């Protein structure tokens, strides 16, 4: 994929200026990824301070990721219509102000609303950054510039809860959980100032771009009709409207598909769905990240609510997971993906399944006598296995996309990643609380065992679907 192909007539920037643009985009992406996971560990502390029901924990996470996913699908075209630099600056400013609002939230409703706005602003900002990076680097340097993104984003996913544990322990200026959001404010102000100074004004926007508002509306409606009952249904006793809402989500999704076929400016490039690797890849990404996000929430709840561990104790326990991921992401791109092809993905998923099964046995055997040491081996395996998947999965899924399709395809994959994370938090979080409160008594051990088993099932589904991807990423590209 060449910059010239994406932005005809736009010359790459001098190397020093291009790397400064990359640094700004890098800061924005790390802020987004950490914010999608950092509230995971802080959920019990937020609820203890602001009150609310068990679903509060799910909404604080789901509001961000669902809003980000929905906005991400269309924000690329908005960049063509309104200007990528302008939207990046607006998105960063909105994200920073929403982070401040989260940190000052007086109640649960205010916090969830601020998280929703934060996710939408993040979805506006992130695609513009990637589009500009593709333009400012010459084609021969672009891949080198993008190499760090996969490993760092993968590590940021598991580092978010660890960072949250340290911030909660430090209790900066008596801010308690609020510091996990307030830390974004100085980082956001710095990134906005750097962006205003260094981002290029012309980045090859397409003046003929159009936005299918009908398709966007149907997709948003389908998402809301699914997530709301998944989060609220258990607490309300699964009334009739929850089932009607989920059925309505299927109808809205079918209407969206029909609208896409008729639209002259579809939200998603239709030719992508004629590529087996892309369709299978959507399912793999969905199963993988739904399992990962839902399991992370349930595991944090098991340790904090079930075993009454502090946030710091919980975050330190997650370090083997992060170390395993760090080692795996270094191997996956440089060694395993090139030599093993798609078998490298299956190796990672297989190791993660072994780690989850080992964790299940550990929970059953040790019960309320669990320690960080007894959990470390299985968490190391889970981290290593998932780390082998983080980096190469998008290469295999998008390898067959043309230059015209890759922008929409990458946006769609990122949206599916975020949305499936929201579904995982909603669905597996609901299963966790339902099992923990079964029979009117708190039984967090059994809830943890059940969610771990469901995570194994989702990883096995992803493992089976990998057979539908090309044997090597280069084959798809060819």
Inside any domain, residue 111: yes
Q: What burial letters (b/e) apply to 193-203, b meaning 16+ CB within 10 Å? A: ebbeebbbeeb
- Work out the average pLDDT over 409-431: 84
Inside any domain, residue 3: no
Q: Which helix (H) or strand (E) holds 257?
A: helix 240-262
Q: What is the CATH number of the domain that holds 204?
A: 1.20.1250.20
Residue for token pair 């005809």: 8
Q: Do 183 and 247 fall within a single domain?
A: no
- Work out the average pLDDT over 197-214: 74
Residue for token pair 């002259």: 264
CA pair distance 313, 331, nearest whole angstrom: 29
Q: Do 207 and 258 fall within a single domain?
A: no
- In the three-class reduction of DSSP (H, G, I as helix; E, B as strand; rest coil), residue 175 is classed as coil
Q: Which of 11-15, 25-29, 402-406, 413-417 has the lowest mean pLDDT?
A: 402-406
Q: Do 45 and 97 fall within a single domain?
A: yes
Q: Do 200 and 237 fall within a single domain?
A: no
Q: Do 198 and 186 fall within a single domain?
A: yes
Please state, for a pLDDT cut of 90, what percent of the chain lies above it.
31
Q: How confident is the model at residue 267 (pLDDT cuts 50, 70, 90)?
A: confident
Inside any domain, residue 327: yes
What is the pLDDT, as a whole number, of residue 403? Answer: 58
Q: Do 123 and 50 fall within a single domain?
A: yes
Inside any domain, residue 4: no
Inside any domain, residue 339: yes
Instruction: Name the domain boundary from 264, 282, 299.
Output: 264
CA pair distance 64, 27, nearest whole angstrom: 18
Inside any domain, residue 225: yes
What is the pLDDT, as a whole number, of residue 477? Answer: 42
Higher pLDDT, 177 or 149: 177
Residue 60 corresponds to which tokens in the numbers above? 């604080």
Query: Which spans in 137-239 are helix H?
Result: 139-146, 149-170, 179-182, 184-198, 213-236
Q: Do 148 and 188 fall within a single domain?
A: yes
Q: Which of 87-101, 239-253, 380-394 has the lowest mean pLDDT?
A: 380-394
The answer to whether 206 touches 80, Cβ cutoff 8 Å, is yes
Q: What burial letters (b/e) apply to 370-394, b meaning 16+ CB within 10 Å? A: bebeebbebbbbbbbbbbbbbbbbb
CA pair distance 82, 85, nearest whole angstrom: 9
3-state secondary structure 304-354: HHHCCCCHHHHHHHCHHHHHHHHHHHHHHHHHHHHHHCHHHHHHHHHHHHH
Q: Which of 173-177, 306-310, 446-450 has the lowest mean pLDDT?
A: 173-177
| DSSP E strand boundaries for 42-129 | none
Instruction: Name the domain boundary from 171, 189, 211.
Output: 211
What is the pLDDT, as a whole number, of residue 1? Answer: 35
What is the pLDDT, as a whole number, of residue 6? Answer: 46
The residue range of the domain holding 254 is 213-264
Q: Do 205 and 218 fall within a single domain?
A: no
Classify residue 314 by burial, with Cβ atoms within 10 Å: 0-12, 13-18, 19+. buried
Inside any domain, residue 201: yes
Q: Do 177 and 227 fall within a single domain?
A: no
Q: What is the mean pLDDT of the chain?
A: 84
The answer to whether 9 touches 202, Cβ cutoff 8 Å, is no
Reply yes or no on whether the pLDDT at 462 is more than 80: yes
Residue of 116, 146, 120 whose CA lies nearest to 131: 146
Inside any domain, residue 221: yes
- How many domains is the chain built from? 3
Q: Do 239 and 184 fall within a single domain?
A: no
Please state, for a pLDDT cut of 70, what percent of the chain lies above it.
87
Q: Do 313 and 375 fall within a single domain?
A: yes
- Work out the average pLDDT over 334-355: 84
Instruction: Name the domain boundary from 195, 211, 227.
Output: 211
CA pair distance 187, 182, nearest whole angstrom: 9
Q: Do 95 and 133 fall within a single domain?
A: yes
């Amino acid at each position: 994929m060449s910059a010239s192909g994406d932005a005809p007539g736009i010359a790459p920037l001098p190397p020093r200026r291009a790397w400064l643009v990359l640094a700004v985009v890098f800061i924005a992406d790390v802020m987004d990824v950490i914010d999608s996971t950092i509230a995971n560990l802080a959920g019990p502390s937020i609820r203890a301070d602001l009150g609310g029901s068990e679903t509060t924990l799910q909404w604080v996470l789901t509001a961000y990721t669902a809003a980000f996913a929905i906005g991400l699908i269309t924000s690329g075209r908005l960049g063509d219509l309104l200007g990528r630099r302008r939207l990046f600056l607006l998105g960063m400013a909105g994200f920073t102000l929403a982070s401040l609002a989260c940190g000052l939230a007086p109640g649960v409703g205010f916090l969830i609303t601020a998280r929703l706005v934060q996710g939408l602003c993040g979805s506006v900002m992130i695609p513009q950054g990637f589009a500009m990076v593709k333009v400012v680097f010459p084609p021969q340097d672009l891949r080198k510039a993008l190499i760090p993104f996969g490993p760092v984003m993968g590590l940021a996913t598991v580092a978010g809860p660890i960072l949250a544990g340290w911030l909660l322990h430090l209790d900066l200026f008596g801010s308690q959980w609020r510091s996990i959001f307030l830390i974004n404010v100085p980082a956001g102000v710095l990134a906005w100032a750097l962006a205003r100074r260094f981002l290029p004004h012309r980045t090859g926007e397409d003046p003929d771009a159009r936005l299918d508002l009908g398709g966007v509306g149907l997709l948003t409606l389908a998402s809301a009709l699914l997530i709301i009952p998944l989060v609220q249904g258990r607490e309300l006793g699964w009334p009739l409207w929850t089932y009607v809402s989920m059925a309505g989500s299927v109808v809205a999704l079918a209407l969206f598909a029909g609208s896409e076929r008729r639209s002259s400016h579809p939200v998603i490039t239709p030719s992508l769905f004629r590529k087996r690797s892309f369709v299978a890849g959507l399912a793999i990404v969905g199963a993988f990240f739904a399992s990962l996000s839902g399991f992370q929430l349930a595991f944090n709840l098991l340790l904090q609510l079930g075993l009454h561990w502090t946030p710091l104790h919980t975050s330190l326990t997650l370090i083997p997971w992060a170390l395993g991921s760090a080692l795996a992401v270094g191997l996956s791109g440089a060694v395993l993906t090139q030599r093993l092809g798609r078998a490298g993905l299956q190796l990672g998923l297989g190791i993660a399944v072994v780690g989850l099964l080992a964790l299940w046995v550990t929970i059953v055997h040790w019960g309320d006598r669990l320690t960080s040491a007894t959990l470390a081996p299985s968490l190391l395996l889970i981290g290593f296995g998932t780390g082998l998947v983080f980096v190469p999965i998008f290469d295999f899924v998008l390898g067959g996309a043309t230059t015209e399709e890759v922008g929409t395809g990458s946006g769609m994959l990122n949206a599916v990643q975020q949305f499936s994370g929201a579904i995982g938090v909603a669905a597996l979080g609901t299963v966790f609380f339902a099992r923990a409160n079964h029979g009117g008594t708190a039984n967090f051990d059994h809830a943890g065992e059940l969610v771990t088993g469901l995570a194994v099932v989702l990883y096995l589904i992803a493992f089976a679907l990998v057979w539908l991807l090309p044997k090597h990423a280069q084959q798809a590209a060819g």
